[in-house]
Structure 1
């Protein structure tokens, strides 16, 4: 394989502070023969100077559109709407394989330009286990925000912080009433993170996973004060909450956090809301009486940008050092082709040199 040229792009979303590669791991990539260009970014938690000190080349924000054709563009969240064609291979979370809004348009941009999406959500080993994920921190923050909302201490707008500062806000005070929490998907990365946050906050919790959701006990679900969903369904399953459940007079549930944020997908297990919340308005009231508040922020780990980036980068590093068309990256490419075939996009429209 020729020298790998990675191009770390600036994130277009103003609240995205994370990075898939931290400066210490950038240095290791360069020491192993990878060429790494890093775009300027006023919001990335690690300053550009740290990448320069690691030996990276730098470029203006957004200049990936004119990067050399063999450069692999590395990012996290959504791409800007321009250019209309995408000629490079992109490593990022595309959210484009489950009929999400805008998914077809994104894949057709790759088709028009001859590029490819190597979706980090589908970077998996031979058993289908994800090799790099932000899940633990997404779950931790989802549960933490749910606790703060339920205790009346969630303040907007949200701002990036550190784990130490966040944990200090989770400590219960003398007049905090006790409440119960439910974590669904408790055995996964996100579920473990949510459980850890509830432990920090001193909140009693019930932990459900596949066994408990296979034959869902809805009265038991609605009998908890707080619920955090950490399940990302890959095949159709009955929804965990329905509109009729929200109007159940026996509902005790008051705070709902959807870590997965699969809104718009036919596989969404919480089809009771139609739009996510954000840092400016983190909680939205779904029902007035009895009250039910929703938290559904799709970049939760960016609230702990340094910790979450460091963990993700450590997991991604060995995969980047072994970048190629086989193994996990080959599976990413296969999944991309499958999604394009489902849209009727011909294989011959793509190049992957």
Structure 2
């Protein structure tokens, strides 16, 4: 069995991301479980786990990673830091032809790099095996409660990013004293699961969708809403999830019934651009529209939530949306506004915890593939480019990658 040398790269993207694919203890575990794996770490001053924490567990610190077989990071690698002819794992954000990363994909092809995207790593059932979704939900729900409390002057929570670990953040839960409001959580995946973890630990009770819509409570409650609860297909009487995901454009939103009873919305559901928006700006101007605080945890700008006009930052996580004018205003400026939290990198607020979860998945699902000849094809399915050429599955990205050449030529002429 061949040996595999894995290098944990220094994150170079700005703004800085403090997460790591493998924590110091996970590096040790990986090499114990897989004796033919060697893990080295490129020194970094910005990681949530310090160089010293790796060195104390005898993980080699190595600036030059040219002798590594596999390089693992978290976010996109700056073009000038890419090492030619290597195999990289990171979130590339290219499969939807994101305009800002066309140059990155072009550089990957030009440098004969093999790119394996974490987002595309799935099991035989098509389910993702490595993701930060749970922590997006955890931090997003916490931020949603923080935002609601701040809007109404109920309590003042310490921001998650100022907490060293999640345990510190959980100490803040005891400050939460909510009136009998109703909180809606959309979605059924990792993100929604993380959000429900927070509400459950805060002592907020989950109720059925029917009770949520039609009963009054003397305490704060929440309901989990699945796609079938707020979408329907006019020409079909029975809900069919596979059909909804295959033909989202044939459906219409029925979310208005929830806007009449919901105070705080935690949006955790994946949204397809062809699917209907939850509600419209016109809906928000109706007298019975009750939602006054929204945590758009999935943060699709101009997506399912019309108020998400921009992504916000960890330092300044909220803004107000004026439903009358349709304009954004300073956060907490008017009670009549809808206050929106739309941070697009939520797991970065608890980087140590999020990295531990992520590393667990890397060891359980990715490392075995290095030594079993990719049995089941997990790595193959997630490979966007192999040795500088797009794989068949992702050949549709060729024009997108080539657009970077055209734009560069235009810039040169100018």
Which range, TM-score by smaller chain?
A: 0.7 to 0.9
SS at match of 1:322: helix
String of CA shifts for 1:180-221, please: whole Å, max 9, x gaps: 111110x21111111121222334111111322433322233
1:249 aligned to 2:287?
yes
Q: How many residues align?
A: 337
User: For 1:154-233, what aligned pairs fall within 5 Å after superposition?
Assistant: 158-172=161-175, 176-185=178-187, 187-203=188-204, 204-215=221-232, 216-223=253-260, 224-233=262-271
Inter-partner Cα distance in structure 2 for 1:235 and 1:283: 24
Q: Which residue does 1:351 correspond to in 2?
A: none
Please state whether the residue corresponding to 1:17 is helix, strand or coil. coil
2:319 corresponds to which residue?
284
Structure 2 residue 146 is the aligned partner of structure 1 residue 143: no
The corresponding residue for 1:301 is 347
Q: What is the CA distance between 1:171 and its match in structure 2?
A: 2.5
Mapped contact 2:314–2:346 kept (Cα < 8 A): no
Q: Per the alignment, in what secondary structure is the counterpart of residue 162 of structure 2?
A: coil
Q: Which residue of 2 aligns with 1:78?
A: 76
Which 5+ residue runs of structure 2 have no aligned equivalent? Answer: 151-155, 205-220, 233-252, 323-333, 402-414
Distance 1:234 1:87, change over 3 A: farther
What secondary structure sits across from 2:383 in the alignment? Answer: helix
Number of the residue aligned with 2:213: none
**Segments ≥4 residues shifted beyond 6 Å:** none
2:28 aligned partner: 27
CA distance in 1, matches of 2:278, 2:118: 26
Query: Following TM superposition, by how much is the alpha carbon of 1:26 offset from its aligned partner in structure 2, in angstroms?
Result: 0.7
Q: Is the 8 A contact 1:25 1:313 kept in 2?
A: yes
Q: Using the TM superposition, give the Cα deviation of residue 238 of structure 1 relative to its aligned residue in structure 2, in angstroms.
A: 1.3
> Shift in Å at residue 83 of structure 1?
4.8
SS at match of 1:181: strand
Gaps of 5+ in 1: 347-353
* Structure ID, larger Rg: 2
Correspondent of 2:381 among 331, 334, 339 = 331
Which of the residues 290, 310, 319 maps onto 1:275?
A: 310
Deviations 1:139-190 (A, max 9, x none): 011011100110113566942432222122222556x4332111110x2111
Question: Normalising by the residue count of structure 1, what TM-score does the alignment of the two structures yield?
Answer: 0.84
Cα distance in structure 1, aligned partners of 2:173 and 2:183: 14
Name the Cα RMSD after superposition.
Answer: 2.8
Could you tell me how far apart the structure 2 residues matched to 1:104 and 1:240 are? 31
